[in-house]
Amino acid sequence: MGKDKLTLAVAIATAGRRDILTQTLAFMNNQSRKPDEFLVSPARPEDIDPEGLRHYDGVVRVIDSAVGSSHQRNAMIRASTADVMVFFDDDFLPSASYLAEVEALFLADPKIAVATGYVIADGALGPGLEIEEGQAILARDRYRGPSSVKPTFNGYGCNMAIRLAPALRHGIRFDENLPLYAWLEDVDFSRQMAVHGTVVEASQLRGVHLGTKKAGRSPGRRLGYSQIANRIYIQRKGNMTLFQVWDGNIRNLCANLFKSLKPEPWVDRRGRLSGNILALKDLVAGRLDPKKILDL
Instruction: State pLDDT tens for residues 264-278.
Output: 989 999 999 999 999
β 149-151/198-209 pair status: antiparallel
- Give the rounded percent of residues in the chain with a pLDDT score beyond 90: 92
Residue 212 pLDDT > 90, yes or no? no
Q: Where are the beta strands (DSSP E) in the chain?
A: 8-14, 37-42, 61-62, 84-88, 92-94, 112-122, 149-151, 159-163, 198-209
Average pLDDT score over residue span 41-67: 96
**What's the sign of the alpha-carbon dihedral 261, 220, 233, 289?**
positive
- Torsion of Cα atoms, 18 then 24 then 26 then 29, to 10°: -150
Contacts of 228 (CB under 8 A, 6+ apart): 249, 252, 253, 275, 276, 279, 280, 283, 288
Give domain 8-209's CATH architecture: Alpha-Beta Complex (3.90)
First and final C-alpha spacing in the chain:
54
Q: How many CA atoms lie within 13 A of 100 on its CB side?
A: 8
Domain boundaries, the chain: 8-209, 220-285
Among 7-16, 109-118, 214-223, 241-250, the minimum mean pLDDT is found in 214-223
pLDDT-derived band of residue 213, with 50, 70 and 90 as boundaries? confident
pLDDT at 218: 60
Contacts of 123 (CB under 8 A, 6+ apart): 91, 129, 134, 208, 209, 210, 211, 212
pLDDT at 1: 43
pLDDT-derived band of residue 219, with 50, 70 and 90 as boundaries? confident
Smallest CA-to-CA distance from 252 within 232, 228, 230, 233 is with 228
d(CA 70, CA 186): 9
Burial class (CB in 10 A: 0-12, 13-18, 19+), 125: exposed
pLDDT at 112: 98
Average pLDDT, the chain: 95
pLDDT at 207: 97
Angle at 218 between CA 216 and CA 219, to 5 degrees: 120
pLDDT at 215: 54
Residue 217 pLDDT > 60, yes or no? no
- Torsion of Cα atoms, 212 then 201 then 73 then 241, to 10°: -100
β 84-88/8-14 pair status: parallel
What digits encode the pLDDT tens for the residues 63-86? 999 999 999 999 999 999 999 999
What digits encode the pLDDT tens for the residues 84-111? 999 999 999 999 999 999 999 999 999 9
pLDDT at 2: 58
Furthest-apart CA atoms within the chain: distance in Å: 61
- Give the rounded percent of residues in the chain with a pLDDT score beyond 70: 98
pLDDT-derived band of residue 144, with 50, 70 and 90 as boundaries? confident
